[in-house]
Amino acid sequence: MLMSQDPNSIIECLKAIPDLVWGGIIGVVGIIIGALLSWIPVFRQLRHDARERERERQMSLRRDVYLFATQKIGQLLGYLTNFYQTEEDPPEGYNEAIEQIRIIGSDETIVAINKFNDHMVDAFSELSPQKEEIRFLEERGKFVTSPELLKLKSIVEIKENLEKFKKVFDEKIKLTYELAGKCQQKTQLAEELLTPLVVAIRKELNTPFDEKAYRAMMKISHSRWRENLEKYATSMKDAYEHGMQILLKDADVPELGTGTNGDTSHTGQ
């Protein structure tokens, strides 16, 4: 081995190597070093590109999840707003959207969606019993004013039934209006809880968010909702008056509150 030989003999051997060979060796070493040095920025660029592709893939996945969740949350908010009058089933897909957020969202996003979801569950648990009471009153009103039943009764009994219907209707209007107000309150609170969620999601997506403009938009929406509620109450009263006229006609009652020359028998069939 070279290390076990005399240093002088090693030097003599190296001196014996022609300059041409040394030139070739130095050239090869230079090429290798140059290749290594040129590969470093290429490697860094490739690594950067790979990270960017992975980042874009993650961002695309988050966008898809959050767009789907936005749609389902919006549908459920609309359902809550109109819960006092709708007979439709709850929109599907909300629970799936929530679970997807919990899987892919940041800690801040998960905390926000959990608070929002807890509020929605509590809201429907609180409002559902009153909704069932309104449905019961509606069915009761339909029963006491059914044309078939009215045709079997005397005018006095018909008037009594119609008075019962009026009381049932008044109670239904009262409960419906109360329920509508509660639905509005629950919706407003849900939208307040939704704001931190929107902020957290925007952070994840690196998207700017004007919270002030968002709250102003919500305020306008609430104002319009109150106007629509007043219109709904008016339309219900108009429908009641129209319905009473139809009932009187179907039951062949001359006029509610008066008899026909003291006759208390049914003047119809």
| Residue 217 in this model has a pLDDT that exceeds 90 | no
Domain ranges of the chain: 57-250
pLDDT in tens, 62-110: 889 999 999 999 999 999 988 988 888 999 999 999 999 999 999 999 9
Q: What pLDDT is recorded for position 259? A: 40
Q: What pLDDT is recorded for position 227? A: 72
**Proportion of the chain above pLDDT 70, given as a percent:** 63
Total Cβ atoms within 10 A of residue 56: 10
